[in-house]
Structure 1
Amino acid sequence: MTERRRVDNFGAGPAALPLEVLEQAQAEFVVYKDAGMSVMEMSHRSKAYEEIHQRAEALLRELLAVPDDYAVLFLQGGASLQFGMVPLNFLTAGRRASYVLTGHFAEKAYEDAKVVGEVHVAASTKDDGYRRLPSVEELQWDEADAYLHITSNNTIFGTQWRSFPDTGRVPLVADMSSDILSRPIDVAKFGLIYAGAQKNLGPSGVTVVIARQAWLETCRKDIPKMLRYDVHAKNRSLYNTPPTFSIYMMGLVLAWVKAQGGVTEMARRAEEKSARIYGVIDESDGFYLGYADPGSRSRMNVTFRLRTPELEQAFLAAAKDAGFVGLNGHRSVGGCRVSLYNAVTLEATERLAEFMRDFARKNG
């Protein structure tokens, strides 16, 4: 039998999960506690699953300090469905919404909103190749806007908001798919936050939505119920069969984050891990070429190029042979990308940093 080993996974998503979580899920996979069956088999109306569901919500509320007047929803369809759900619920006739364009997924959200109603570009860094984020002073929106939409971290180009704009009475909506749970945030600054789980929260299949309850009460009622936030909130994300196993796995990840020290510890680790990789890039004398402007660099996704496409391919091939996977840049831009989500260990990061230094020595 061929020996199997785990690689160091730096993929952008679905991403690495904590080994302890995988081992616990493995132990509980066939029979969950005293339920006599797997989580994958049990009814979403059963007492056993209800406890799983409630525990996941309670942990998320605790870790992110979600205020009591906010709903926490577990939905399906990924962040991509949220690109349409947000405007369908809140972009009513005679209103407009403003979008900050900072990358591929921000563009997708903007394009879907255009199908629903009037939208406005509050700022864009496309002309700069999305190497940077706009300053707060560059943002232009109106106090009458239905909402202002941002993408907190850009996985493709490797940029991340360090702080968020104060939008006053205008609800701030954020796609936090790739950096939620990696640092403390003030949830009360946002009207709505959404995030696909497959980077920091758990496996693919569940999408978290955190929204101000009072705003949800203003949702349109003339759209299908499956697309209405207020319906899902009223039914505690159980209006239809939820992605039960993904929610179970997310609950295990949330418990792991709490045991590690919470989001404050995740933020410390993210800073340390990203500093290791950025340090190799900055000290390589141009062998590695960082893509994002230093002031906008992401702690989740480190993007860089090498001097030639041939050298990039040699780097990626050698990295794979050495047990490092997921380092290819997004198919739309190429290059290289190191994703440093919560489950990526400092030890794995240091192994990659040493590999990068060694590859530069041999090929510089």
Structure 2
Amino acid sequence: MQILYAIAGIALIFFVFKDLITTTLSFQGGGHLTNFIAENTWRLCLKLAGNDGKKKMLERVGHMLLILIITSWVAGMWLGSFLLLLSDPGSVLNSTTDAITTASEKLYFAGYTLSTMGNGDYKPGSTLWDIVANLLAFSGLAFITVSITYIMPVLSAVILQVKLSVFLNSLGNSPQQMLLNSWNGKNFDRLLRHDADLADMITQHSQNHKAYPIIHYFHSIEQRQSVILNLAIFDEAINFLKFGVQDEARPSDAELLTIRGAQDFYLHILERHHKNEEQEPYTFPEMNWDALIEAGIPLKTERLGAFHSAETFKERRETLTYLLYQDGWSWKDIYRADPV
């Protein structure tokens, strides 16, 4: 039984450290434990909110997850160290009497060794356990340092996420309004005025999402600050430019190459969120293009019905559908009855 305690303790410590390193230093997303906690906690909170992205309780989930993930690392390291010490009754002794310690005293010793804040009332029982205690202390110091430094880039990524969302929303809060605001009577040059800056922000956000997927759960109930909603609106606006506007008025594919490349990269990074078995086939609400026609934008009217089809831009729309669903939104929040 004692050797099983040692094996379980070492395995748990390595599992937590692997999750910690993968989440904080690999830039390849969260570890298994981190992703399990984040995805299931968000799924539960979203269900409690009735899958409504406007519920205020969802705004606190991201901050709660940061605390929960770090707490799970602490608990895992502490439990693993405790199990390791349990493998030998004489692993920890009372500093005054040299008496063998109880399980609760070993738990206490493991905690204060990891936190490097021991008061000396207990000591390792042998040279071997001296070395183990030193290793645990160094591990605890490294663990605390990495955990704290992880918070700063995550919060910076969240700030960029909000900045990108507000920038996109300033272009328009629906695909129709975005196109109207970009139309100058002849073409859509206004939309391409900041395409390099916008493409850079989208690319950086995509990289942040890959490195720190927890930012996905920093939710905003306001459309202006909801990055998923505004990126979907922007993607649909570009889709319609390519599909439903007369060639002489719309930007060429070459002019859209920079911004379209950034959009494609974003969807590629998030392809793990692609349609799953739980996702129902998506449908679009009725799309209202009257304002564009009244503004004199030359449309390919014979193709407007086809743009409404689920087969048009199928792959990217399937990905966006699940991203919207996962964040508590739907296509009704993009194609509203009164889009302008």
Q: Between Structure 1 and Structure 2, whose CA radius of gyration is higher?
A: 2
Bin the TM-score by the shorter chain.
under 0.3
Task: With the length of structure 2 as denominator, give the TM-score of the two structures.
Answer: 0.28
Question: If each structure's strand is expressed as a fraction of its own residues, which one has the higher value?
Answer: 1
